[in-house]
Each structure stands twice: as structure tokens, then as C-alpha cells.
């Protein structure tokens, strides 16, 4: 029973620390979903290293020496506490590597020690109870699963990040103390049974090692690609990071707990149907509401991971190869995450890794069935999986040809995906900049409206009115560039400072759109996260500062906190204006804006501009200022507040996305 409790607790702590650390990193790295992807790579890599350590220790050392070495490792991990990160400089050319370095320093030692505990305990348990050794892995995944479920509901809403760090560190110390007692007790038991010598492992690779590697890698690729898909249009926060990871772990729990829960015919049929749905999700998923998107992506993920992990369990070896099995699973996970983090952005200009990972799951199912001599499954199952891949591939290729027919260019890097398209609507040629799946800039190349600001930035919007009314020789800052549309409001003598995180956005705005080149304002460009860059500059004394740094419908929450707002105000003149773009499909940010206005005692104006025939978007902007008189001219554009939700404020160490979800409000 003590072994079950310790395995459960170690897994709980392992997966509780992941969202804590990722959330600490967001302010330094732009707040995008790519931060979570890089974090997943770190945790997978350290899991691999810890499993390698566990395999070496259990197969080469006597039990007593294993206890001594691992006991010392836990002690060193405890000395590295408390966990936490220090703010980094603005990310350079390789931000993913900076994330890995920062996490290694902040949590590497305790995480490594914890991650090695489960496979070591299972190898020890096999010495006294060979039959139930693999069951411990199921209990381990239950701990991981509950950790992920508890974080967004029981931890994040109630504890600031600093308190989360100390709570986790305290639980680690408690775990280590109990673990020392377990080792002493277990050693005496093993000594009585005469099993304290080296493991029975004789070396060499199991003949199914490549299948283990491929199945585990495919499962993680589906997890990571699904997480990217879900969060590209919503804020990258723990709730939406952890749901896919929780479902991924749940499939491990189900498959390793009982083989009866994985029936090949059922799960093949389910995944084949869901693969077709995934093709449509890939292209038109953003047209669904957030609940429908999350539900459909979750179903696809769950079915695909059930197939990968169900076949993994069917192919598992006897306990002589137990630590090698887990080592190769960890290697597959690390390789799968690295493929999504580093390889996919270099190879694909769209998120093609998502459908490819699903197709890979079906193909691996076919291979596993053909290699399974013990269960003697009919070859028709393998053939059915191949047919399912072929049908899905044909559908995907047809849809892809339809949706990219208007594309001018596509660019992809660590910060996301940009697409420039050109469409002809009612004899009006429009060029559009699409970030993820959301239009972030429109320019009319010919026809009515040519040369005028369009879409979210049209003259009828609050930001358009504000910029038009600024006095001559205005100094304005813009956090977020998009297609550069707001540069159209620049007048001779104005100085416009653009802060842009993604270098591809700046390059595209200059090469594919004319707003920047045609602007009368003198322009200054600052590459890097806007908040991080401003924090290093002296007070800019802006007449106005415009915040529009959203990627798709996703919001970088670190730009909307109390500390961030305080920074913006320090760069404004006493009567300066702060405009914030809060248009969002899934989130109502007006209670947050009202909360910040109350906290800083700011006057605030809210306006919603409804879509028109030529402008296809409803647009929401707020403008805040220390000077109520400064907003007088904009009061005529004031719209009624869209909800009566109680105002709230986010801080760097505390934010709760559920407060802003539209389905959570009135």
C-alpha cells in the first residue's frame, strides 16, 4: 500500500509542477502556446534522462546501492528548492532553447529525482511481487491525471504562483522523508526473500523495441499537435494545456489497468470516423464555439491515444525488460515532442503534423496487429486501418487544395503561423493577413476603400477615432503590428513606435502590405515582446499607447495584468491614452478592463462597432486615461457594457481564465 501511495504522490507532484513552471515563464516569452510546447519537450527530455538513470541503476547495481544512490539524489533535489524562475532577457534567435535552459536551472534536479522514482519502484516491486509490477504504472498515471485536473480548479484560482512554489516544494520534502522510510522497510523485506542482488536483466534490446518507440512517440505527437490546435485561438493557459494532457494520461490509466478496456475493433472504428472529423476541424475548426472545438479535438485525441497506448500494452514485455520498456517509451515521447517543437515549424507552413500524427496512429495500429502473434488478430483489421488512412488522406488533400487556392504566402516559426491571402469580393480585391485562423489585417488593393484602414481598425472604431483626433507631432506606441494598418492614421511629424514579437509579422507587413510604406508618420520598430522591451526603456512619454498583440483569438495574458498596466501608464504622458483591443470570439474581457480602470482610478470608454457589409467583423475597443476630460470627445461613441460580470484584475502571479470565458458570464 505504501508503494502505491508513493508512486501516486510522485506522479502527482511531477504533473503539478508542469503548469506552475510554464505559467512562470509566460511573461518572458510572449505568452504563446509555443511556450507550453517547449515546456513539454523539457519535461519529456528529463523524463527520458531519469528513465535512463533508472534503467542503469536497476540493471547494474545491487539493491542496497540503488537505495543509497537514489536517496542521495532526492536529497540533492531537496537542496535545490524552492522551485522558481528568474525573469530572462527578451528571447533571442532560439527562444525554445532558452525555455529549456531556464527550466533546467529552475526545476531540473527535483523533477529528475521524482521522475526516476516510479520506474525504480516498479523494478523493486517486481522482486517481491512480479504479477502487479505493471499495475503501479496505472496508479502512477492516476496521480498524474488528478494533478492535472486539480490545478485549474483547486490550485490556480486560490494560490498565487509564489505560494504554489512553496506548497509544491514542501510536498517534495514530505515525499522524500516518507520515501526514505519506504526504502528501509522494503530492503528488509527483499533481504528476507533473498532478492537483493542485481536485476535479472541480461542486456540487449527486446525485439519489439522499435514498436514501443514508435507508439509512444506517436501518442505524444498527437497530444502536442492537439494542444497547439486547441490553444491557437484561445489563451494558452493551464486549463486548456492540461485538458489534452489529462486525456492523454487517462488513456494510459485505462490501458495499463485492464486490457479489457481496449478492444481493437471498437477503437479502430472510432478513430477512423474521428480522423475524417479531424480533417474538417483542421480547416474550419475556428468556425465552432470554444466548447465544440475543445470537445471534438478531445475526442480525436482520446481515440488516437487509446489506439497507441492500447497497442503499447499489448506489446509490453515481461518484467525483466521493464525499465528498458519505460526508457524506450520516454525516448519516443521526447522524440515526438522534439519533432513538433523543432522539426515541424521548419518543414511545414501549416500545422500538418496534426493530421499526419493521426494517420501515423492508424498505420502503427496496422503494424502492431500484423506483429501480434499471440492474439492472432485477423489481417482484415490491419487492412481496414490502411483503408481508413487512404480515405482520410484523400479528403484532406481535397480540402487543402480548396482552402489554399487564394494563398499568396505562408510563414511559420516559433511564434506561430502567418498566411497572406487575396480574395475578390464584389469587385473589390482584398489582401488579408491571417494569424493562425484569425484575420489580423485587411488591405483593399482595388475598389471602394482602397488605401483606407479596414476591418478591426476602420475609422468608425474607437481606436480610429482616437488616432485621428491626436494633435500634431504625436508620439504613439503600438504593441503588436499586424499588417501595419494603424500606420495609416499617421500624420507628418508623428512618431509611431511599433513593438512586435514575431519577426515574420514585421517582414510580412513591409513586403505584402502598403500601410507602413504609405504612412506619413516616422516609424520606429522594436522586435521583441512589447512588455519586456518597454520595461528596459526609459519613460517614452507617449501621447497614446495601443495594445493589440493577440495571436489569433489567443490572448497573451501577461500583457493584461496589473503589473503590465502599471508599466504602460509609466510610459504615457499624464493625460495620455491607453487603447486596448478586446475583440474575441471566446472571451469577454470587459470585466477585466473595468477592474483595471477601478484599480488605477482611470476613466474608461468602451465601444463596439458592429460589422458592416464592407467590414465583416464586430470590433471591441476600450480607451483608458488618467484624465476624464481627455476622453470627452470619445464619450459620444460609448457603447453599453456587454455584461454585468463583476470586475476583476489579473496579476502576474495570479490569473484565472475561467473568469473571462463567455459561457461563464451573465
Q: Give CA–CA dist 364/217, Å, rounded.
A: 11
Which grid coordinates belong to 648? 476583476
Q: Checking DSSP bridges between strand 572-581 and strand 542-547, what pairing results, if any? A: parallel
Say what the pLDDT of residue 151 is: 84
Contact 396, 282 (CB under 8 A): yes
Within 13 Å and on the Cβ side, how many CA atoms surround 49? 14
Q: Based on the domain organization, do 189 and 218 belong to the same domain?
A: no
Say what the pLDDT of residue 550 is: 66
- Residue ending a domain, among 166, 197, 228, is 197
Q: Give CA–CA dist 226/20, Å, rounded.
A: 21
Contact 520, 496 (CB under 8 A): no
Say what the pLDDT of residue 42 is: 87
Q: Give CA–CA dist 3/134, Å, rounded.
A: 12
- Residue ending a domain, among 162, 197, 232, is 197
Q: Based on the domain organization, do 474 and 398 belong to the same domain?
A: no
Asked whether residue 203 is assigned to any structural domain, the reply reads: no
Q: Give CA–CA dist 303/293, Å, rounded.
A: 16
Kindly provide the b/e burial profile for residues 490-504, where b requires at least 16 CB atoms within 10 angstroms of the residue's own CB. beeebbbbbbbbbbb
The DSSP call for residue 643 is -
Q: Based on the domain organization, do 157 and 239 belong to the same domain?
A: no
Q: Based on the domain organization, do 18 and 158 belong to the same domain?
A: yes
Asked whether residue 637 is assigned to any structural domain, the reply reads: yes
Q: Based on the domain organization, do 163 and 264 belong to the same domain?
A: no
Contact 493, 519 (CB under 8 A): no
Asked whether residue 649 is assigned to any structural domain, the reply reads: yes
Q: What is the CA radius of gyration of the chain?
A: 27
Task: State how far Cα 311 lies from the chain centre.
Answer: 27
Q: How far apart are the first and last CA of the chain?
A: 47
Domain containing 234 equals: 212-405
Q: Give CA–CA dist 631/605, Å, rounded.
A: 7
Q: Based on the domain organization, do 168 and 49 belong to the same domain?
A: yes
Q: Checking DSSP bridges between strand 619-625 and strand 603-609, what pairing results, if any? A: antiparallel
Kindly provide the b/e burial profile for residues 134-155, where b requires at least 16 CB atoms within 10 angstroms of the residue's own CB. bbbbbbbbbbbbbbbbebbeeb
Asked whether residue 146 is assigned to any structural domain, the reply reads: yes
Contact 648, 659 (CB under 8 A): yes
Asked whether residue 543 is assigned to any structural domain, the reply reads: yes
- Residue ending a domain, among 368, 387, 405, is 405
The DSSP call for residue 465 is H
Q: Based on the domain organization, do 507 and 603 belong to the same domain?
A: yes
Beta bridge partners of 623: 579, 605
Q: Based on the domain organization, do 278 and 375 belong to the same domain?
A: yes
Contact 457, 493 (CB under 8 A): no
Q: Based on the domain organization, do 143 and 220 belong to the same domain?
A: no
Asked whether residue 410 is assigned to any structural domain, the reply reads: no
Which grid coordinates belong to 661? 470565458
Q: Based on the domain organization, do 559 and 606 belong to the same domain?
A: yes
Q: Based on the domain organization, do 315 and 356 belong to the same domain?
A: yes
288 contacts: CB under 8 Å, gap ≥ 6: 296
- Quote the crossing angle between the two packed helices 2-25 and 238-257, to the nearest 10°: 150
Coil, strand or helix at 573: strand
**For residue 354, how many other CB atoms are within 10 A of its CB?**
24
- Block means of pLDDT (10 residues each) for the chain, 666 residues, are 84 88 73 69 87 86 86 91 63 68 87 89 73 68 83 82 90 92 80 56 75 94 86 57 84 83 93 95 78 88 96 85 84 88 84 93 94 74 93 94 84 83 84 80 83 87 94 95 94 96 92 94 92 91 91 68 95 96 84 96 93 68 95 92 90 77 54
Beta bridge partners of 416: 413
Contact 11, 147 (CB under 8 A): yes
Positive or negative, the CA dihedral 73, 78, 83, 85 is: negative
Say what the pLDDT of residue 534 is: 93
Q: Give CA–CA dist 222/300, Å, rounded.
A: 9
Q: Based on the domain organization, do 326 and 239 belong to the same domain?
A: yes
Asked whether residue 205 is assigned to any structural domain, the reply reads: no
Contact 626, 612 (CB under 8 A): no
Give the number of residues written for the chain.
666
CATH number of the domain residue 3 falls in:
1.20.1250
Indicate left, alpha or beta for 427 from its phi (over 0: left) and psi (-120 to 50: alpha).
left
Asked whether residue 468 is assigned to any structural domain, the reply reads: yes
Report field, pTM of the whole predicted structure over 0.85: no
**Number of domains making up the chain:** 3
Within 13 Å and on the Cβ side, how many CA atoms surround 445? 12
Q: Is 54 exposed, middle or buried (0-12, 13-18, 19+ CB in 10 A)?
A: buried
Which grid coordinates belong to 291? 466548447
Beta bridge partners of 431: 422, 443
Which grid coordinates belong to 94? 532560439
CATH number of the domain residue 632 falls in:
3.40.50.150
- DSSP string spanning 501-553? S-HHHHHHHHHH-SHHHH-SSEEEEEES-HHHHHHTSPP--EEEEEE---BTT
Q: Give CA–CA dist 508/510, Å, rounded.
A: 5
Task: Let me know the angle formed at the C-alpha of 436 by 432 and 440, rounded to the nearest 5 degrees.
Answer: 35
Q: Edge-to-edge, what's the strand order for the sheet holding 542-547?
A: 522-527, 495-500, 475-479, 542-547, 572-581, 619-625, 603-609
The DSSP call for residue 243 is H
Positive or negative, the CA dihedral 53, 54, 58, 61 is: positive
299 contacts: CB under 8 Å, gap ≥ 6: 274, 277
Say what the pLDDT of residue 564 is: 93
Coil, strand or helix at 366: helix
Amino acid at each position: 500500500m505504501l508503494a502505491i501511495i508513493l508512486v501516486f504522490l510522485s506522479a502527482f507532484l511531477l504533473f503539478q509542477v508542469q503548469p506552475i513552471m510554464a505559467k512562470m515563464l509566460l511573461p518572458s516569452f510572449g505568452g504563446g502556446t509555443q511556450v507550453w510546447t517547449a515546456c513539454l519537450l523539457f519535461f519529456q527530455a528529463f523524463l527520458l534522462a531519469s528513465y535512463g538513470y533508472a534503467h542503469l541503476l536497476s540493471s547494474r547495481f545491487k539493491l542496497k546501492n540503488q537505495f543509497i544512490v537514489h536517496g542521495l539524489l532526492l536529497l540533492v533535489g531537496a537542496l535545490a528548492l524552492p522551485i522558481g524562475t528568474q525573469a530572462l532577457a527578451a528571447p533571442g534567435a532560439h527562444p525554445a532553447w532558452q525555455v529549456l535552459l531556464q527550466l533546467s536551472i529552475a526545476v531540473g534536479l527535483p523533477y529528475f529525482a521524482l521522475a526516476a522514482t516510479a520506474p525504480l519502484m516498479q523494478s523493486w516491486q517486481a522482486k517481491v511481487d512480479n504479477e502487479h509490477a505493471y499495475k503501479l504504472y496505472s496508479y502512477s498515471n492516476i496521480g498524474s491525471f488528478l494533478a492535472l485536473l486539480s490545478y485549474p480548479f483547486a490550485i490556480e484560482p486560490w494560490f498565487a504562483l509564489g505560494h504554489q512554489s512553496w506548497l509544491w516544494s514542501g510536498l517534495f520534502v514530505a515525499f522524500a522523508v516518507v520515501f526514505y522510510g519506504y526504502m528501509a522497510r522494503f530492503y528488509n523485506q527483499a533481504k528476507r526473500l533473498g532478492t537483493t542482488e542485481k536485476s535479472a536483466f541480461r542486456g540487449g534490446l527486446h525485439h519489439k523495441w522499435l514498436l514501443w518507440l514508435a507508439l509512444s512517440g506517436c501518442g505524444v505527437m498527437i497530444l502536442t499537435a492537439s494542444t497547439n490546435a486547441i490553444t491557437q485561438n484561445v489563451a494558452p493557459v493551464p486549463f486548456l494545456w492540461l485538458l489534452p494532457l489529462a486525456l492523454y494520461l487517462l488513456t494510459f490509466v485505462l490501458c495499463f489497468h485492464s486490457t479489457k478496456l481496449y478492444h481493437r475493433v471498437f477503437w479502430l472504428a472510432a478513430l477512423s470516423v474521428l480522423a475524417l472529423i479531424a480533417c474538417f476541424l483542421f480547416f474550419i475548426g475556428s468556425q465552432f464555439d470554444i466548447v465544440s472545438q475543445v470537445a471534438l479535438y478531445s475526442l480525436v485525441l482520446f481515440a488516437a491515444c487509446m489506439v497507441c497506448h492500447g497497442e503499447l500494452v499489448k506489446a509490453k514485455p515481461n518484467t525483466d525488460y521493464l525499465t528498458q520498456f519505460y526508457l524506450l517509451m520516454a525516448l519516443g515521447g521526447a522524440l515526438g515532442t522534439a519533432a513538433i517543437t523543432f522539426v515541424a515549424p521548419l518543414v511545414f507552413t501549416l500545422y500538418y503534423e496534426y493530421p499526419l500524427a493521426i494517420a501515423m496512429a492508424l498505420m502503427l495500429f496496422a503494424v502492431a496487429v500484423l506483429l501480434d502473434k499471440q492474439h492472432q488478430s485477423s489481417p482484415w483489421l490491419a487492412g481496414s486501418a490502411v483503408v481508413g488512412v487512404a480515405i482520410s488522406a484523400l479528403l484532406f488533400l481535397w480540402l487543402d487544395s480548396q482552402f489554399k487556392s487564394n494563398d499568396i504566402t505562408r510563414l511559420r516559426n516559433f511564434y506561430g503561423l502567418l498566411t497572406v491571402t487575396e480574395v475578390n469580393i464584389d469587385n473589390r480585391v482584398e489582401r488579408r493577413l491571417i494569424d493562425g485562423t484569425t484575420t489580423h489585417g485587411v488591405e483593399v488593393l482595388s475598389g471602394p476603400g482602397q488605401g483606407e484602414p479596414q476591418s478591426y481598425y476602420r475609422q468608425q472604431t474607437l481606436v480610429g477615432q482616437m488616432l485621428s483626433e491626436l494633435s500634431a507631432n504625436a508620439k504613439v506606441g503600438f504593441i503588436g503590428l499586424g499588417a501595419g494598418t494603424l500606420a495609416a492614421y499617421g500624420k507628418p511629424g508623428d512618431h509611431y513606435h511599433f513593438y512586435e514579437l514575431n519577426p515574420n509579422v514585421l517582414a510580412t507587413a513591409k513586403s505584402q502590405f502598403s500601410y507602413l510604406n504609405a504612412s506619413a508618420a516616422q516609424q520606429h520598430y522594436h522586435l521583441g515582446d512589447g512588455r519586456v522591451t518597454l520595461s528596459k526603456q526609459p519613460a517614452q512619454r507617449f501621447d497614446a499607447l495601443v495594445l493589440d498583440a493577440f495571436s489569433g483569438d489567443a490572448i497573451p495574458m501577461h500583457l493584461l495584468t496589473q503589473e503590465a498596466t502599471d508599466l504602460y501608464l509609466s510610459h504615457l504622458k499624464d493625460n495620455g491614452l491607453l487603447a486596448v483591443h478586446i475583440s474575441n470570439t471566446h472571451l469577454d474581457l470587459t470585466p477585466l478592463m473595468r477592474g483595471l480602470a477601478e484599480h488605477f482610478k482611470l476613466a474608461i470608454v468602451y465601444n463596439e462597432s458592429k460589422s458592416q457589409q464592407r467590414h465583416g467583423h464586430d470590433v471591441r475597443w476600450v480607451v483608458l486615461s488618467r484624465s476624464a476630460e481627455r476622453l470627452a470627445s470619445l464619450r459620444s461613441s460609448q457603447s453599453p457594457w456587454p455584461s454585468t460580470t463583476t470586475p476583476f484584475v489579473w496579476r502576474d502571479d495570479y490569473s484565472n481564465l475561467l473568469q473571462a470565458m463567455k459561457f461563464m458570464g451573465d
